[in-house]
Amino acid sequence: MSTTVHPSTTSAGTGARAVPLGRGWVLAGLGAGVLGIVGGVASGMVNAVYDPAASGDAVAITEKLATQVPQIIAFHTATMLSCVLLVLFAVGLHRQLRARTAPDSLVPGTAVAGLGLVAVAQLIGAGLTTEFAFALTEDAGLVVPESAVFFNHWIGTIPWLWGGAGLTGLALFRAARQGAYASWLGWTSLVLGGLSALFLISPLQYMAGMTGPLWLVVASLGLLRTARED
């Protein structure tokens, strides 16, 4: 195992010290991917608006939503934890890509920007739960039924917008082609990242919520080895 040495100014203003990159950022990516899947599953369980028995009936939808508050809280918690961990992973990946690609390469910036889009979608996607979850449990009169219907559609779509991860996957493919990573990681990133990127530009953007987190889990497992090598 080798240690990457980065120049660093000491308190005296001179000299350098060795700074091991570590694997924490990769584990953060793995956690973000797993929690992204958990959040997606929990979001899918908040299905009042998709219940045929309540279709078109805003009051009935609101009443059913009031019974699904635990799922809403589970969705919110998993999504926000994923958001935080994703930011840590993005920063670590950007640092590693800068070390492994050409100084003027667009790959590091593209990779971190793609994950930034996902983190923003997660943050905004879970943002309305504070407004609705507790109001549903305290007093249904606090929630206008039509707004509750919108809320259910919101959490069933916005936090699923993982299309930005497709850009990161394509960036990793490019880096692998340049020898920065193993070929299998590059091709996996091309397939899952390419699908996510296609969803990003299609009317079915929420479908990336299935391929994006899966890519992140697989890529993080592969990157654990590269982190040990740095």
Q: What is the average per-residue pLDDT within 31-59?
A: 92
> What region, left, alpha or beta, does residue 56 occupy, with left being phi > 0 and alpha being psi -120 to 50 degrees?
left
The DSSP annotation for 25-71 comes to: HHHHHHHHHHHHHHHHHHHHH--GGG-GGGTT-HHHHHHHHTT-HHH
Residue pair 219/32 in contact (Cβ under 8 Å)? The answer is no
Q: What is the pLDDT of residues 118-131, one digit of tens each?
A: 999 999 999 999 88
Report the 10 Å Cβ neighbour count for 13: 6
Question: Confidence class of residue 204 from pLDDT cuts 50, 70 and 90?
Answer: confident
Task: Give the separation between CA 105 and CA 99, rounded to whole angstroms.
Answer: 11
pLDDT at 12 over 70: no
Q: What is the average per-residue pLDDT within 142-159?
A: 90
Alpha carbon dihedral 161, 162, 163, 164, in 10-degree steps, equals 110
Task: Give the separation between CA 227 and CA 42, rounded to whole angstroms.
Answer: 31
Q: Which amino acid is at 14?
A: T
Task: Give the separation between CA 121 and CA 151, rounded to whole angstroms.
Answer: 15
Task: Give the separation between CA 35 and CA 16, rounded to whole angstroms.
Answer: 38
**Could you give the maximum distance between any two Cα atoms of the chain, in Å?**
72
6-15, 67-76, 86-95, 214-223: the lowest-pLDDT one: 6-15
Residue in the block written with tokens 């497992």? 221
Task: Give the separation between CA 208 and CA 195, rounded to whole angstroms.
Answer: 8
Q: What is the pTM of this model?
A: 0.85
Task: Give the separation between CA 12 and CA 24, rounded to whole angstroms.
Answer: 29
Q: What is the average per-residue pLDDT within 40-59?
A: 90
